[in-house]
Structure 1
Amino acid sequence: MKLLQFISIFIICFTSCKNESNKDEVIPEEKLVVKEVPKKKVYGFFEDDFTVVRDTVKSGDSFGAIMDAHGVGTSQVHKITTAIKDSFNVARITSGKPYTILASKDSLAQAQVFIYQNNPIDYTIVDLRDSITVQKKKKPVTIVEKSASGVINSSLLQTFSDENLSFNVAYALSDIYAWTIDFTRLQAGDRFKVIYTEKFIEDSIPAGIDEIKASYFEHKEKPIYAFKFEDDTLNHSFNYYDQEAKNLRKAFLKSPVKFSRISSKFNLKRRIKFYGNKIRPHRGTDFAAPQGTPILATADGTVTRSERRGGNGKYVKIRHNSTYETQYLHMSRQAVKKGDYVRQGDVIGYIGMTGNTSGPHVCYRFWKNGKEVDPFKQELPSSKALPEFLRPKFDKYTLPLIKKLDSIPFKPEPEIL
């Protein structure tokens, strides 16, 4: 019994001593792992090296004023602007744009680096240290493919609003189909599907639509596919083609105003009660829209008139070629002058009420061979067809897109109780 007690005491003491010994054990230096906290960067610069000032260009601000507020004198500002004038015009900094100053951490807090955010993605770095340099950079952008569908009840924009979809996709769709669908005459039950890509900055901040890859629009029960396809590999030119490889671009847009409504049609036998129910021909098509809405050139051409005259009010007239001319009346102001060459879709003026008009609209007049005609009853020319040698490549490219579009479901229409 005593022997067993002795052995037990010995084991306890031995174990205790070993544990004490382990407490004092020195861990070899090579086994120590020290985790370094990565230094935080701002636009590629270590934040700890500077005093970081973030601000926005205010109305009336200039580059010189901003520099002066951060310890850079007039003579140095002149030296900076001269050195960078070919790369960055400081006179064009715009109010509302964000900028960042990286200033020295001493008592002077003088600007060392000026970073101007041109847009959500592009930014310009002006490094004022030592030799003055300019770098134009982009934030990391992720491209994400998305799809959407909808059924028209009243208008395209209203449908996009109801479905909580980006209006930028709606605007892009209206541009793609501008030559084939009159968006002022959409009908309830028209519907669409679209495959598009959206840009995200740093994987989380939306930065706008990248492109529409393919779409489907069913108007008056007629389906029209659209595919973005590179038809000129030398110049990297893209156009949108339908399922039969026909170019969706026409010589003339269907409307000079996006998302407006036709308030009065071309009618040579129109009778007006105000004038004793006499025939007063209406040789234009009126597109009603809010005051200040941009008016677009419906085709390329040269401005032959930009003036104000009588009942026309302020107007612009464009000669497109030896056959076609267009005219846009009742503007609040013109955006072009006589002699200017304009491209299809360029803003040439803004909706107003000048001249003889009872409400804000543009009266769109269309001439063919010197005679005013109804543009919606004309067989207007199309753009170039897809070169025949590209057809096999086009068919191969569009086949999986057609399958993908066809697999996108439409949301069930609400039941009418």
Structure 2
Amino acid sequence: MKYLGWICLALMAVACSHHTSEEHVEIIAPEELPQEEPLTRFGFLVDSFDIKEGHIRNNENLSTILAKYGVDYGTIDLLAKESRDVFDVRRLAAGRKYTLLCDKDSSGYAKCFIYEKSPVDYVVFDWRDSLQIYQGAKQVDTVRRTVSGEINSSLYMNMVRNGVDPGLAISLSEIYAWTIDFYRIQKGDQYKIVFDELYVDEKPVGIGQIHGTWFKHSGEDIYAFYFEQDEHGDYFDVEAQGLRKAFLKAPLKFSRISSHYSLRRFHPVQKRYKAHLGTDYAAPTGTPIHSVGDGVITHAAYTSGNGRYVKVRHNGTYTTQYLHMSRIGDGIKPGKYVKQGDVIGYVGSTGLATGPHVCFRFWKNGVQVDPLKEKLPPSEPVRKENMDAFEKVKAQLKKELDAIPVRPEREQTVSL
């Protein structure tokens, strides 16, 4: 009996222990795993197709590409005709990327063709159920960046060494086109830029808005702040004066001055001293020549001395002339109105010239003058009612620019 009592006590303890355990058990429902978003490209579900990618080859066209993937010539012809209002298929450029969406079955027939005009823009040719041709654009992400540098060679090469899109050099030259002569940039000149870089699929594809810049040229600090008034944006200096002037500093974006305005210069062709009342800008044949200001074409002709040339009357005070062109721009003829920056011709060596260049001549009140020494009229400043808003933008950008360090060319700095 004694042993039986101990056994009963043990069984009761086990039962109590089991009961207590059940009271604390929690039933946890299985977690619902988040469903992955279906993978899409160009608006199509990728899993529904067999994807083929390639690049346009030299002499390749829409017909030769699609025929390889079972598309009949009747459909190809219809695609070419129906796409004219959206995109001319004759403009497929060698090197551009394309994507084909094909059936997953053994036939592998193509059902859609996507041509990437640029890293951002594309054209879709869809002939599955009904013919659809339309343009699209990839998502573009913007990253604010800063860059600075000290120039020891050229601004363009400095940008390349700096690891940024060299197109930023073009943009910078356009901002300061009325203020700095980029053909006279000196060793030791410095710059700082606050700008947006554009990304598609986490890859840089170009330069967006330039918010503010600082350029130290010949010992002078020149700021440029982007500011919008009346929905129109422009660049202004620290005094709220517009950087844009009535005339560009030069008719070419990038080149070098090969001969300055002079009252006595030895002519390389005529072999004698005479006045050279223009400024020569050397550049490769075919380089675009831009009108330095708005105006009306008065001459677009050829003479034995000037070669092919164009003359523009800007107003009652100023006239400009551009000599030795390889050819005159399309549609450029007397009476045509051109805007500042319009291409009016291309660099050449026609007439009395020893090499490709443009001789740029500048008249003021009928007298030829040195344009590099002229004080040109400014554009509209920030208006009084917008000054408070401008001062806030300027203060923020100037603080940001001043905080960017400038290092020698071998120690360039780029930051996100």
Query: What TM bracket, shorter-length normalisation?
Result: 0.7 to 0.9
- Per the alignment, residue 302 of structure 2 pairs with 308
In the alignment, which of 197, 206, 214 is matched to residue 204 of structure 2? 206
Render the CA deviation track for 1:2-45: whole Å, top value 9, x for unaligned.
Answer: x9xxx9xxxxxxxxxxxxxxxxxxxx9x7497887765433232
Residues 1:179 and 2:178 aligned together: yes
**Are the structure 2 counterparts of residues 363 and 51 from structure 1 closer, same or farther at C-alpha, using a change threshold of 3 Å?**
same
Render the CA deviation track for 1:64-96: whole Å, top value 9, x for unaligned.
Answer: 443334333333334444544433333433332
Instruction: Please state whether the residue corresponding to 1:129 is helix, strand or coil.
Output: coil
- Per the alignment, residue 219 of structure 1 pairs with 217
Quote the Cα distance in structure 1 between the aligned partners of 2:241 and 2:249: 17
More RCO (CA 8 Å, sep 6+) = 2
Quote the Cα distance in structure 1 between the aligned partners of 2:307 and 2:236: 39
- Per the alignment, residue 20 of structure 1 pairs with none
- Per the alignment, residue 253 of structure 1 pairs with 248
Instruction: Please state whether the residue corresponding to 1:394 is helix, strand or coil.
Output: helix
Matches within 5 A, 1:1-16: none
Residues 1:391 and 2:387 aligned together: yes
Cα offset for 1:119?
A: 0.7
Q: Percent identity at matched positions?
A: 43
Matches within 5 A, 1:161-310: 161-202=160-201, 204-233=202-231, 237-271=232-266, 279-310=273-304
**Are the structure 2 counterparts of residues 247 and 63 from structure 1 closer, same or farther at C-alpha, using a change threshold of 3 Å?**
same
Residues 1:376 and 2:372 aligned together: yes
- Per the alignment, residue 143 of structure 1 pairs with 142
- Per the alignment, residue 360 of structure 2 pairs with 364
**Are the structure 2 counterparts of residues 155 and 49 from structure 1 closer, same or farther at C-alpha, using a change threshold of 3 Å?**
closer
**Are the structure 2 counterparts of residues 386 and 153 from structure 1 closer, same or farther at C-alpha, using a change threshold of 3 Å?**
same
Render the CA deviation track for 1:367-399: whole Å, top value 9, x for unaligned.
Answer: 223332221232322222222111111011111
Cα offset for 1:107?
A: 4.3
Matched residue count = 388
- Per the alignment, residue 19 of structure 1 pairs with none
Quote the Cα distance in structure 2 between the aligned partners of 1:331 and 1:130: 54
Quote the Cα distance in structure 2 between the aligned partners of 1:382 and 1:35: 60
> Partner amino acid for 2:245?
K
> Partner amino acid for 1:188?
K
Quote the Cα distance in structure 1 between the aligned partners of 2:266 and 2:110: 71
For structure 1, which segment, 400-409 or 286-295, has the greater mean C-alpha deviation from structure 2 after superposition? 286-295
**Are the structure 2 counterparts of residues 388 and 138 from structure 1 closer, same or farther at C-alpha, using a change threshold of 3 Å?**
same
Instruction: Please state whether the residue corresponding to 2:145 is helix, strand or coil.
Output: strand
> Partner amino acid for 2:316?
S
Matches within 5 A, 1:1-80: 31=30, 40-80=39-79
**Are the structure 2 counterparts of residues 273 and 230 from structure 1 closer, same or farther at C-alpha, using a change threshold of 3 Å?**
closer
Instruction: Please state whether the residue corresponding to 2:378 is helix, strand or coil.
Output: coil
Q: Report if aligned partners of 2:328, 2:344 keep a CA contact under 8 Å in 1.
A: yes
Cα offset for 1:248?
A: 0.3
For structure 1, which segment, 334-343 or 173-182, has the greater mean C-alpha deviation from structure 2 after superposition? 334-343
> Partner amino acid for 1:410?
V
Quote the Cα distance in structure 2 between the aligned partners of 1:93 and 1:288: 34
For structure 1, which segment, 97-106 or 398-407, has the greater mean C-alpha deviation from structure 2 after superposition? 97-106
> Partner amino acid for 1:205?
K
- Per the alignment, residue 23 of structure 1 pairs with none
Cα offset for 1:223?
A: 1.2
Render the CA deviation track for 1:152-208: whole Å, top value 9, x for unaligned.
Answer: 234322433443443111111100001011111122332111111101112x21101
Quote the Cα distance in structure 2 between the aligned partners of 1:171 and 1:145: 19
Residues 1:408 and 2:407 aligned together: no
Quote the Cα distance in structure 2 between the aligned partners of 1:49 and 1:162: 44
- Per the alignment, residue 332 of structure 1 pairs with 326
**Are the structure 2 counterparts of residues 210 and 127 from structure 1 closer, same or farther at C-alpha, using a change threshold of 3 Å?**
same
Cα offset for 1:55?
A: 2.0
**Aligned-CA RMSD value:** 3.1
Cα offset for 1:228?
A: 1.1
Residues 1:104 and 2:99 aligned together: no
Instruction: Please state whether the residue corresponding to 2:394 is helix, strand or coil.
Output: helix
> Partner amino acid for 2:123?
T
Quote the Cα distance in structure 2 between the aligned partners of 1:35 and 1:251: 60
Q: Report if aligned partners of 2:152, 2:409 keep a CA contact under 8 Å in 1.
A: no
For structure 1, which segment, 80-89 or 118-127, has the greater mean C-alpha deviation from structure 2 after superposition? 80-89
Q: Report if aligned partners of 2:268, 2:354 keep a CA contact under 8 Å in 1.
A: no
**Are the structure 2 counterparts of residues 348 and 142 from structure 1 closer, same or farther at C-alpha, using a change threshold of 3 Å?**
same
For structure 1, which segment, 161-170 or 121-130, has the greater mean C-alpha deviation from structure 2 after superposition? 161-170
Cα offset for 1:111?
A: 2.4
In the alignment, which of 326, 332, 346 is matched to residue 350 of structure 1? 346
For structure 1, list consecutive stretches of 5 or more residues without a partner in the other structure.
8-27
Quote the Cα distance in structure 2 between the aligned partners of 1:37 and 1:54: 24
Instruction: Please state whether the residue corresponding to 1:148 is helix, strand or coil.
Output: strand
Quote the Cα distance in structure 2 between the aligned partners of 1:31 and 1:152: 63
Could you tell me the TM-score, scaled by structure 2's length? 0.83
